[in-house]
Structure 1
């Protein structure tokens, strides 16, 4: 469901006009720039959704609108509304402020530090205060006053509080009263629709008994929100809960890929996790799905004619201080999984969630989540990096040869099919067009920034270490069944090795300036292709791909036919084979090649994926030549 913005709506954080994002758990609307800061804080601080380009359950959107229209923002800016705050020098951000540090510092103070919320009188026993607040919440949810309940939740009331005298939770009360928006708010703050009261009944039971059909159906959806979101991420469908279908388990099109001993060991470890650890892993993967999907919407909705420098994609899950360091490290490693690896993990989680719900818990082991993340990675290089570098960095590095190795092996990846009862149906490879667009655009923007700075001779070598990692972006690799040809080496077949095997290898690399100039041309052509994809101008694909092909050929010609560096060879191979594959995919848009809109959508997915691979390879070559020539 989309929302038509009214001119009276302004960003809750800087008062900028026409906010296009919402922070669901804060009950506010925010602009693009402020949203970029919210995302960097993590979902435990702010859960953001785009108002138009993200699917909304209607009542969830209605809840956010109600909170926003009834002044929920005053909860988070309570002390700023006091005239004395102006005298103290404290003020909120304005639209003209820079994102960093001005807006970012204000938003962190407002939501992370809760610097402006109303403070309760100090008491010695905090648990009693929390209990009192929870009891107030318990009685308040039977009314329609959402902002009162949000205020109580912001002060520490517990959404899953079990009232000792009443024998139930706030969600039971809201369900009995038919308060669907209160139920939405409680669910956002973690209320469990499956919790039983002292009579053994759930909130869903009470909603049904009271004749609140819409509320009952929505509570069932909330109960399966995690697995529904994972399934939708892979195959674009949700289970039909009304007809008793609560799980969709997508399958790999080629099951032989899952028969390796490593994959079997990973699945066994997953199944042996205790329910608690399994739930933690599932929630972490849910957060990673949210990060990847929101990145897609984020960059797809930016103005691609301008260079975004201050507001960028989130490269990996932000640290949650409530989690252990091991868990935070594991969560950040999820960003390094390419699409095939991540899809494998998601499918295994969906399968095991279904198995556990059906009452087959399996054997409990002390294995922790970190073991699962290592095993599922299915690449020895992912594990080997643990021996010589930190598990995660405050700033992720592009100079990770292990990750280059991982991303260069994408040719093994296959598409997915759903195993729904109506037979296997072709789906977009792991993500929709916009998810691929985020990958392309993020790399392109980094390329442009790096190129322009390099041309001004103002970039020290270390600046290239501050870009987001290649592995942050999903490398679906797509099906490589199509025969591929290099644009340098004639002949078709598998991806060729570079140069004549009998020729001498060369360590001579072109000048950084030449590589950057050719990269800029590739970037410009890719941006043109991305705009055509966004605007559904499919007849522009072929001419765009031809211009990209020419630019790639010119760039590849700068390098020796047999480079000595493995990284150069890998990047050149990815560059040239992707350019050829891009042309092949674009030809599918010719009349008669596609039979329905779904086919065009699938082609567009592949086209943008090829563009991403080209941009990534060009970026790698810029980085390599810059480092080598500076030594």
Structure 2
């Protein structure tokens, strides 16, 4: 993709182009005007680290790094899609005279959401992308090409990436190559100067080996960036790291509080680190705020009264960070002073004598503090001065409030107990009802089996020929016996007359679904008689082995149809889709055994029917899952009709091949 690049002016704002840009975003590599800087400050330090180019304290190499990025068009990385030829965004960059709301909308889209930033498309996985970016950064930091390294870090390259083949990190390479601006860029993006390489040497060791005192002092200073900021906030002085003094705790003007210091010592290291970073951000906000208020053109701009929300942190921690703004300056300095004392103790060990001696000099304390005890929520509160101590009236009001709260809690506890008892009673009733339903289901199954045995005994057969019995009970519950003589149809006729006698002359004889009625039974009887009147030579070509196989397969078809009826009637039985598949398999077996010359139409009819059966079974199961009663009844009737016709065709085949015996 082609881009239009232009050499930027170092004195203009990178977001709106306003002249006299006296502020800078360190991690974005941009110079900013006062208005755009006010918006950057509201985004938070985790998105944009703002500093004044005129009044803030800078390391010379860090300021040169920001100016070099600004001069080398680093802003094109954040505005890549806006500079694309034929850009689809059609977004216009605001000008110096645009309103603050227009600039705010643009800056949030550009820096907070990164809508216009350069992004490469990688086909490989995330791990491969990270390794590729890390290897490119590892190779780029050895050169003075600062823009390439900045682009890789903006894409997500890890500044602490460990190259397996080289056995080092990018910071090792930059220090060994004496690339001071590359070192500053890596430090801004979180490179760790204490990270060892494959030979257990840190970047500080590399600078000491090459006798590069400037880089060595800068790397040591970066290790104590937080404590140096705290020392400067308290005494406007920083420790002399060149002479081995890494902590500067003011000896006058501050006095540590015994209770607060003891509570800090009880905090685990990870919790203490989070507290230190939050206090560091608050100190940086207040120092930037003091410089901000000293500028004449910032009085009408939006202020940042507390730390902005960081979406990567929890809600509780964000609330705690914002509550730091309530601390008065003496209270915050007292907290910073105690953090410095405990930081020195933690870095030198829990048994550091100087820290304990300092603690004993300031106040009385036990010789063995309980570091393993857990602090209460009240322990994190800032100790109040005498002026802020609550009065007696406030104490009485708080006691009354506590009493009312206890009463409300007791009432809620009673309601919860009553609710638990009600839930227990309801669960017992539900279990009883379930047991009753299960008993009724067992009795229903037993009655069905007894009724089927009684009907089969009265008919003199197993129920295969009683098609009306199948339709009335919606199941085939017995194994059919094969028809051996021509009197079977007459027996079935008499049974049908007996079981289907109408109660009045206007009542129709209803059978299975829509297909089974009295006229259909008479047509079936005539068809059976026509088959019986066929000449014996019609099927004389069928041998005993083939006839026995046909009888065996028809018996399997009958059993599979029985299982299908049971599956669609009883929810706890087998799945109807599997039963329908078994019916299909047995039909295809029968089609392979029957004669293609004489039974072609019958085979085609049965295959067409069984092909319709499987989708209906699937739709029936889906209707059960979504509890659609109307659709369930429809598919249930279709399956019954198909099964009835399959049973009828099977009976015709059994009758046909029984005649030749």
TM-score (norm 2): 0.53
- SS at 2:110 equivalent: helix
Tell me the distance in 2 between the aligned counterparts of 1:372 and 1:45: 32
**1:561-617 Cα shifts (integer Å, max 9, x gaps):** xxxxxxxxxxxxxxxxxxxxxxxxxxxxxxxxxxxxxxxxxxxxxxxxxxxxxxxxx
Of 22, 29, 32, 1:30 maps to 32
Q: Mapping of 1:218-617 within 5 angstroms?
A: 218-251=218-251, 253=253, 255=255, 258=256, 263-303=257-297, 308=300, 311-360=301-350, 373-375=380-382
- SS at 1:283 equivalent: helix
- Provide closer, same or farther for how the CA distance between residues 170 and 367 of structure 1 changes in structure 2, counting only shifts above 3 A: farther
- SS at 1:239 equivalent: coil
Tell me the distance in 2 between the aligned counterparts of 1:22 and 1:112: 16
- Provide closer, same or farther for how the CA distance between residues 184 and 254 of structure 1 changes in structure 2, counting only shifts above 3 A: closer
Tell me the distance in 2 between the aligned counterparts of 1:372 and 1:114: 41
- Residue segments in structure 2 that go unaligned for 5+ positions in a row: 1-7, 352-368, 399-661
Tell me the distance in 2 between the aligned counterparts of 1:217 and 1:369: 41
How far did 1:377 drift?
6.4
CA contact (8 A) 1:277 1:368 kept: no
Residue 556 of structure 2 is matched in structure 1 by none
Residue 68 of structure 1 is matched in structure 2 by 70
How far did 1:53 drift?
0.7
**1:141-168 Cα shifts (integer Å, max 9, x gaps):** 1111111111111111111222233222
**Count of residues in correspondence between the two structures:** 367
How far did 1:303 drift?
3.5
Residue 115 of structure 2 is matched in structure 1 by 115
**1:527-570 Cα shifts (integer Å, max 9, x gaps):** xxxxxxxxxxxxxxxxxxxxxxxxxxxxxxxxxxxxxxxxxxxx
Higher relative contact order (CA 8 A, sep 6+): 1
- Residue segments in structure 1 that go unaligned for 5+ positions in a row: 1-5, 388-631
- Provide closer, same or farther for how the CA distance between residues 316 and 8 of structure 1 changes in structure 2, counting only shifts above 3 A: closer
Tell me the distance in 2 between the aligned counterparts of 1:124 and 1:376: 55
- SS at 1:285 equivalent: helix
How far did 1:92 drift?
1.4
Tell me the distance in 2 between the aligned counterparts of 1:254 and 1:35: 34
- SS at 1:83 equivalent: coil
Residue 85 of structure 2 is matched in structure 1 by 83
- Provide closer, same or farther for how the CA distance between residues 328 and 142 of structure 1 changes in structure 2, counting only shifts above 3 A: same
Q: Mapping of 1:93-104 within 5 angstroms?
A: 93-100=94-101, 102-104=102-104
- SS at 1:190 equivalent: coil
**1:392-422 Cα shifts (integer Å, max 9, x gaps):** xxxxxxxxxxxxxxxxxxxxxxxxxxxxxxx
- Provide closer, same or farther for how the CA distance between residues 363 and 94 of structure 1 changes in structure 2, counting only shifts above 3 A: farther
Tell me the distance in 2 between the aligned counterparts of 1:345 and 1:111: 33
CA contact (8 A) 2:282 2:325 kept: yes
CA contact (8 A) 1:327 1:369 kept: no
Moved more, 6-15 or 200-209: 6-15
- Provide closer, same or farther for how the CA distance between residues 211 and 270 of structure 1 changes in structure 2, counting only shifts above 3 A: same
**1:310-361 Cα shifts (integer Å, max 9, x gaps):** x222100001111111211111111110011101110111111111111228
Tell me the distance in 2 between the aligned counterparts of 1:290 and 1:345: 15
How far did 1:367 drift?
5.4
RMSD: 2.5
- Provide closer, same or farther for how the CA distance between residues 196 and 313 of structure 1 changes in structure 2, counting only shifts above 3 A: same
How far did 1:251 drift?
4.4
Residue 465 of structure 1 is matched in structure 2 by none
How far did 1:302 drift?
2.4
Tell me the distance in 1 between the aligned counterparts of 2:134 and 2:25: 23
Structure with the bigger percentage of helix = 2
Tell me the distance in 2 between the aligned counterparts of 1:105 and 1:359: 49
- Provide closer, same or farther for how the CA distance between residues 314 and 367 of structure 1 changes in structure 2, counting only shifts above 3 A: farther
**1:485-506 Cα shifts (integer Å, max 9, x gaps):** xxxxxxxxxxxxxxxxxxxxxx
CA contact (8 A) 2:42 2:304 kept: yes
CA contact (8 A) 1:270 1:372 kept: no
How far did 1:299 drift?
1.3
